[in-house]
Homo-oligomer: A and B are copies of this chain.
Amino acid sequence: MSKQKAIVLLSGGMDSTTLLYHLVAEGWEVEALSILYGQRHARELDFAKRLCERGQVTHTVCDLGVLSKVLGGSSQTDSTIPVPSGHYADPVMRITVVPNRNMILLAVAAAKAISVGCATVAYAAHVGDHAVYPDCRPEFILALQGALNLCHYDGGVGLLAPFSQMSKADIVKRGLQLHVPYYLTYSCYTGKEKSCGICGTCVERLQAFWAAGAEDPIQYEDRAYARTINP
């Protein structure tokens, strides 16, 4: 019997990269999909590409950059809005929310899944996202699963979000078990070549590695700031 196949949303960051490795380890055949939606940190997709080349994973990049026109009001799609620094759970981080981003990305992933005759899509929402990102919360995942199941004939498309009850530190631990090449991932919201170390995603990432008893192998402009922020 052939392996079950999943379309994995791969941003190039550490969560979705770990998800790709995790699903392969769980016996899934995977295909990666990366989507440009006008994000400030589009650099992440170069990392996704390199990662897939290295792992010989089929990878599609879909350039929907014009979406930035309808995705206003976020620091991640509007270059005039500064990226805030600090902790994800800080209400100031709401400015980083890209309106309905995950439904758009998962809807496109499901379309691709149907087109290639595969019944599953996957994304890497995790517990750390819940405080600020509505479209990473378990209740959203459950509701969207319901809609995806009905979007096409014969049960539609399944939605996997195996990290939705895991912390980012748990993800790092799982990734280290799987020898995920974290030096080939990129997360910083600023999109700068060298990760800033002070935006919400840099702080969360650095702290996740520390909580997992490890050190993040990528370079940071400021590796000390995250020590000053309450996890």
Chain A interface (Cβ < 8 Å from any Cβ of B) = 33, 60, 62-64, 66-67, 69-73, 94, 97-104, 107-108, 110-112, 114-116, 134-135, 137, 139-140, 143-144, 146-153, 156-157
For A134, list chain B residues within 8 Å (CB).
150-153, 156
Q: Which of A62, A103, A108 has the most CB of B within 10 A?
A: A103
Query: What 8 pairs across the A-B complex have the smallest Cβ distances?
Result: A99-B114, A100-B111, A143-B147, A72-B115, A70-B112, A143-B146, A103-B107, A140-B150
* Contact B64–A67 (Cβ < 8 Å): yes
Return A118 CB to nearest CB of chain B, in Å: 11
**Contact for A111 among B99, B108, B139, CB less than 8 A:** B99
Tally of this chain's copies: 2
* Contact A135–B112 (Cβ < 8 Å): no
* Contact A66–B71 (Cβ < 8 Å): no
For A99, list chain B residues within 8 Å (CB).
110-112, 114-115, 152
Q: Which of A70, A112, A152 has the most CB of B within 10 A?
A: A70
Q: Which of A67, A135, A139, A143 has the most CB of B within 10 A?
A: A143
For A135, list chain B residues within 8 Å (CB).
150-152
Q: How far is the CA of A116 from the CA of B100 in the complex (A)?
A: 13
**CB-defined A-B contacts under 8 Å, sample of 8:** A62-B66, A70-B112, A70-B115, A94-B153, A97-B152, A103-B147, A104-B111, A135-B151
* Contact B60–A63 (Cβ < 8 Å): no
Return A154 CB to nearest CB of chain B, in Å: 9
For A104, list chain B residues within 8 Å (CB).
104, 107-108, 111
Return A36 CB to nearest CB of chain B, in Å: 10
Q: How far is the CA of A140 from the CA of B70 in the complex (A)?
A: 24
Return A183 CB to nearest CB of chain B, in Å: 30
* Contact A150–B139 (Cβ < 8 Å): yes
Q: How far is the CA of A161 from the CA of B73 in the complex (A)?
A: 27
Q: How far is the CA of A137 from the CA of B149 in the complex (A)?
A: 12
**Contact for A143 among B33, B62, B140, B150, CB less than 8 A:** B150
Q: How far is the CA of A60 from the CA of B70 in the complex (A)?
A: 9
Nearest-CB residue, chain B, relative to A149: B143
Q: How far is the CA of A147 from the CA of B151 in the complex (A)?
A: 13
